[in-house]
Chain A
Amino acid sequence: MSTTTSDIIDKLAGIAPGTHLHGIRDQRPQARENAQKSYLALFEPEFPGNVSAIERYAIATFVAGLHRQPAVMDFYASGLKNSGDADITETVSAEIARGSTEGPYGHYPPGPLSAEDQDGLDYHVSVTSKGVLGRRIAAALEHAHLLVFRPRDASAAALQKLLDAGWSTTDIVTLSQLVAFLSFQVRVIAGLRTLAAAHEQAAVEIERASIFTTVLASGGI
């Protein structure tokens, strides 16, 4: 079984129909189809609830940016530009730079694992940015940063901050899925892109080796 259409992961990983990796992805048809359905349920939801398109794209742009995945970030940033205004897009981009760090870090419940505790950036949206983004998006970006870089520091208190900023319980589930799904999607894309590049490199090496053999056989060297 083989599909001729590409999904969003193929598009962002640069995998064209008919290629080796496209065919291999087809061997996990449910995973392929449902990763795409997850994307659609989050970005073209049939029942969007209280979470706006601007909020969804702002969070996705931020999460992709924190992962330093420019192709994915640009994709969601263009969604943000189309559904929001330029100020928000620019502000999210500034916040990505402010939130840039490396993970995962964080703390364990006190005990033997405390030896592995690792401090790191406790990110907060700047006051100026908060003015542009509003308190809902600002709180969402702070929560997204927590989930991206130090998920083991998550707490009921962090969820309370979202409730206080106007996110309902159901909104928080959608927000959590957005950040968690993006964390999956960028990794599949980055992994496939690396595998595709390794493939191309191997193909080039085989070609070079065969040219070399031909040259040798013709007595050229």
Chain B
Amino acid sequence: MAESTLTHPNNQEPVVFTQEELGWLPWLEPYPADQLTERHWAGLVDASRSKSPYFLLLARDPDVLQARTKTDKDIFYNTTNGLPRAERELAATATSRLNGCIYCASVHSRFATQYSKRKGDVQRLLDEGVDADIDPRWNAIIAASVALTETPISFDKNHVEALRTVGLDDLEIIDVINGSAFFNWANRLMLSLGEPTSPTQPAGRV
């Protein structure tokens, strides 16, 4: 075979959910950084992403990567009205926790902590899982994210009602839907194209 997968026999994968910074190693050869064309740069959106093996791998289909990244940015960074950033990150973390993406959960639990200043509560979601009883508002957002993440999708009018009861309006509910749905996209790429490295290892060097 001309092409084969990359393996990392010396890598010790993290075995718990953590808010620490993890690395990520690809199972397929990323696009060579020295051969990037204009179309690839457009796909990467931010030039700094050319340092990431994950984004360089996805740059093999640059048009999809570009649209994916811009979808991601609007769902999480466009905080004109709607759900506070902390709770969008909470939806991303709950989704990643249920799907089992230790890498994605590490990044977005850090963001959830940064924006909410509630590190202990975020850690309980990681340690206890999606059934953790935190507070009515966070519980409702986590439950909605879980229902959206299950296959088949179990999100129903009771979840909408629960979100309204804790004060979310329709735009904020759409932010929960988008945040969870987007992480069902992101988790599947992260989990299936490579593996995380432990915080003690130098990222991307194994």
Name A's B-contacting residues (CB within 8 A): 20-21, 24-25, 27-31, 33-35, 37-38, 40-42, 45-47, 49, 66-69, 102-104, 106, 108-113, 116, 146-149, 151-152, 154-160, 163-164, 168-170, 172-174, 176-177, 179-181, 183-188, 190-192, 194-195, 197-199, 201
Contact = CB atoms under 8 A, between A and B. Distances in A.
Nearest to B170: A24
Contact of A30 (B74, B160, B193): B74
A19 B40 CA distance: 38
A120 to B, nearest CB: 11
A30 B141 CA distance: 23
A192 B174 contact: yes
A151 B188 contact: yes
Contacts of B156: 194
Dominant secondary structure at the A interface:
helix
Given A38-B67, A195-B174, A176 B151 contact: no
Nearest to B151: A103
B105 to A, nearest CB: 11
B5 A194 contact: no
Contacts of A42: 64
B70 A30 contact: yes
B73 to A, nearest CB: 7
B177 A187 contact: yes
Given A108-B15, A147-B192, A67 B74 contact: no
Contact of A28 (B74, B173, B189): B74
B174 A28 contact: yes
B199 to A, nearest CB: 15
Nearest to A111: B15
A113 B16 contact: yes
